[in-house]
Structure 1
Amino acid sequence: MKEFAKMAETNLTHLITKGKHVLFFTATWCSDCRFIKPAMPEIEAEFPEYEFIEIDRDQYIDICEEWEIFGIPSFVVIDNGREVGRFVNKDRKTKREISEFIHSLS
C-alpha cells in the first residue's frame, strides 16, 4: 500500500484521475485502524486492479474534510476520478466486510 505522505504527487485529485483506487483513511492512534491494518496486504492482493493509498487523518485533515471523512478507518473507492463507493462509519471493520464492500462495486 502506498502512503500518501511518501508519494511524489501530493495533489490527491490529480493522482486518482486515471485508474482504480481505494483510499484508506486511518490514524496511528485509532485502535480500529490498527486492528484492520495487518489484513490490508491480503485485501490488496485480492484486488490487484486497485491501487490502495493510505491517508493519515491527522496529517491530512484538510483532505478528510474535503472528502467528508468523519469516522476512521474509512474506505473510498475511485474509478477514473469518480467516486463509486464508500465504506465510512465509526465501526470496526473486518477483512470480510471490506472485501464484500469492494466486490459489491465490481
Structure 2
Amino acid sequence: MEGIERRWIHTNGIKMHIAEKGKGPLVLLVHGFPETWLSWIHQINHLAAHGYHVVAPDMRGYGESDCPQYPSSYTIFHTVGDLIGLLDELVEQQVIFLSRWWPL
C-alpha cells in the first residue's frame, strides 16, 4: 500500500473513507458487495503508475466509512448522494468511473 494516501471526507451525512494515489485525470473505483477499497489495490497502483489520480472509497456501511443504523439509510439515492458529495469534495470536472459487483 506504498504511496496510497487515506483520508476521510464528510458527504451526504456520513464520514466516508477514501484511498487515493497519483496525479492526472481522475479515476473513481467503486467496490461492490461485500468488498472495500482494498479490492482495487492492484488497479490503484497500476493506474497511478500510468498517470491517473485514482480514488477508491469505502462505500456507506463498508470498511472504515460510517455505518448508519437504519436500513432505510442504504437506498440507491443515498449511494448516489454519497458519490456526488465525494466528487464535489474532489473538485474535478470529469471522472472515469469504474465499479463492479462481485458475483458477475
As a proportion of its length, which structure holds more helix?
A: 1
TM-score of the alignment, normalized to the shorter chain, above 0.5:
no
Larger Rg: 2
TM-score (normalizing by structure 1) = 0.38
TM-score (norm 2): 0.39
